[in-house]
Structure formats: structure tokens, C-alpha cells
A and B are shown apart, each in its own frame.
Chain A
């Protein structure tokens, strides 16, 4: 009985530890398209999940591989394709926001490096929330 109790406590401690170390902001389904020939820009698509109990604000994204990274949204209004800059993204506790083709996306401009992997850093003001590395993929692969 005592052993079972000890194992139970150990498991509880493990769960607690795992809970504490779980990152609040997690990225998945990351796709960075290769810059088209003659263009030094590209797009990045991904899902961002807020695992914390507080809303997460993202108002800056940067990459050492690109001169500028902007959050944009593609819109289709009355048959007209539009693209608008988006200042910030708020992700509610437990929510996932998808950046995908034809919707929200990151526009990566002025590619500086000739590498196959891109680093992306997500911030609230100067606080780094998430860093990730993604392989550049050919379109439609």
C-alpha cells in the first residue's frame, strides 16, 4: 500500500513538472515556401497554440535570414484579392491560431542568407515568446 502511495506521489510530481515545463506558445505545421526566382521574399504558414492560462500577444516576428518579417492577412472581398498588414495577433488561453494560405501569413522579405533552414522569432515587444527553425520547402510539395 505504501509503495503504491509512493508511486502515486511520484507520478503526481512528474505530471506537475511536465506541466510547469510545457512551453506556453507552441508552433506546429510550419511551412516556409522557397522564395520564387527573382524574388527575395517568401511566405511562412504555421499554427500557434497557447498552452498557458493567459492570452498571448505577438506583435513582432523577426528572422536573422530575412531583412523584415511582417504579419499579413490575405482577404477576398467581392472577387478582389487584397493583402493587409496585421499589427498584432492575440491568442486566447487554450486556443490555436492558424496562419494558412489565403489567410493570415508571415511575409518574409529581403532574404539575406542562402540557407535551406529559416529561423523565426516571435515576440511581445522585446520579450521572446518562441524561437523555431523550419526547412524551406518547394511549393506544393
Chain B
């Protein structure tokens, strides 16, 4: 074969490959790396609980802003503060980079017996002044958690001491109050910074 023909064939082949790559790239929307997105989203169940100042909280309280919702308890020394610190770091990074979507951080206590609004107030405020803490009646809490597929159970009960096993996921609720995505543990700053804009763009 003439070397010149080989060169032309190579150039044409390269151009074709580049064209296919560009077409694929522009035609494929970015995908979340960690989050599971619920295409239609789902409404929050009806519930009535209290915020950290003792004011009522219901499904409507989730309208008007993006929320990252974690279920935990203040007696938890390792997973809960680590997760809340990660979410606080996510929020700080988004504020500093002037991102369009800066979600509120919400901690729903799965230990309402011990987590009074006063205790929750000091706890969630530690991770940021705009955070929301939710506690209150156990039956109302169960309406919220079971409606969202969140599990929790009291364990290792010895005298007055006990722990609470709980789902480690973080739910994303959009400004219409719809549960639209879920981050599974372990939680990393990078996964939120990558996925949140993609989730928001799909709304």
C-alpha cells in the first residue's frame, strides 16, 4: 500500500473516532456518581413533629429550599457527627463557590426520647447556624421514616443506656418538598459536590 494512502486512511479514521466521541459526549447528560435519583420524586408523608426551637414541622416545612436530610441521634459519637460534619463541609464549599443550589442540612432524631428540642438545638447549631433539627412524638416520627423507607431500632438496652441502629442514607428533598434523590453511606464531600448540581439540573 502507498504510504500516503495509509496516512490519509489514518487521518480519516482519527477524524471519524473524534466525531463519534464528540457526538456521544454532547448527547449523554452527566450522571451522578453516588446518588440514586428518583425520576418522578415522591411526596413526603404527612407528619407533625417539632423543630429545635419547639415550633411545628410538617411536610410543608420542606418547601422553598433544597434539603439534605439525615436520620441520627445526639448520643451517637462516631457516624452521626462524622456525617453531619461532611454535610457541613459540603454546604461551606457550595457557599464559597457561589453555587446555585446550597441545601439546608436537616437532622431528624431517631431518638426523640432523649433528644429534646433544647438538646437538638445545641447539637445541630454546632454544625452551622442554618441547620434544622427535628424531633417529637415517636408515632409521628415513624410516619415520616416508614414513608421514606428509613429504618431505626433501639438496641443494646442496658439499664438507662441504649443505642439506636438507623439507616445511614442522606435524602435530597427539592424545593417542591419532593424526595428526589438519595446518597448512601459512606458519605464523601466529593460525591455531593459532583452530584448535587446534576440532581438540581434534572428537576
B81–A102 contact, CB under 8 A? no
| Distance between Cα atoms of A26 and B165 in the complex (Å) | 33
**Is the pair A83, B186 in contact by a Cβ cutoff of 8 Å?**
no
Question: Smallest CB–CB gap between B169 and chain A, Å?
Answer: 6
B139-151, CB under 8 A of A: which get 1 and which 0? 0000000000001
**In the complex with contacts A80-B167, A81-B185, A139-B85, A102-B79 CB distance below 8 A:** yes
Residues of B within 8 A of A43 (CB): 77-78, 81
Q: Establish whether residues B82 and A38, one from each chain, have CB atoms under 8 Å apart when the complex forms.
A: no
A140 near B85: Cβ-Cβ < 8 Å: yes
Size of A's binding interface in residues, CB under 8 A: 25
A-B pair count, CB < 8 Å, reads: 77
Given A81-B166, A81-B167, A82-B155, CB of A41 within 8 Å of CB of B85:
no
CB neighbors of B among A7-47 (8 A)? 33, 36-39, 41-43
Supposing A72-B78, A76-B168, A140-B85 touch, asked if A38 and B155 sit within 8 A by C-beta, the answer is no
Please, which residues of chain A bring their CB within 8 A of the CB of B125?
A: 37
How near does chain A come to B190, taking the closest CB pair, in angstroms?
Answer: 15
Answer whether A101 and B78 are a contact pair too, CB < 8 Å, given A81-B185, A84-B156.
yes
CA distance A82 to B163 in the complex (A): 8
Label chain B's interface by main secondary structure. Answer: mixed
Contact A83 B79 (CB under 8 A): yes
| Given A37-B123, A80-B166, A80-B168, 10 new contacts (CB under 8 A) | A36-B74, A38-B122, A72-B77, A74-B78, A76-B186, A81-B80, A81-B185, A82-B165, A85-B156, A139-B81
B interface vs A, CB < 8 Å?
Answer: 72, 74-82, 85, 89, 118-119, 122-123, 125-126, 151, 155-156, 163, 165-169, 184-186
Closest 7 A/B residue pairs (Cβ):
A38-B122, A37-B122, A81-B168, A43-B77, A81-B79, A74-B78, A82-B165
Query: A interface vs B, CB < 8 Å?
Result: 33, 36-39, 41-43, 72, 74, 76, 79-85, 101-102, 105, 107-108, 139-140
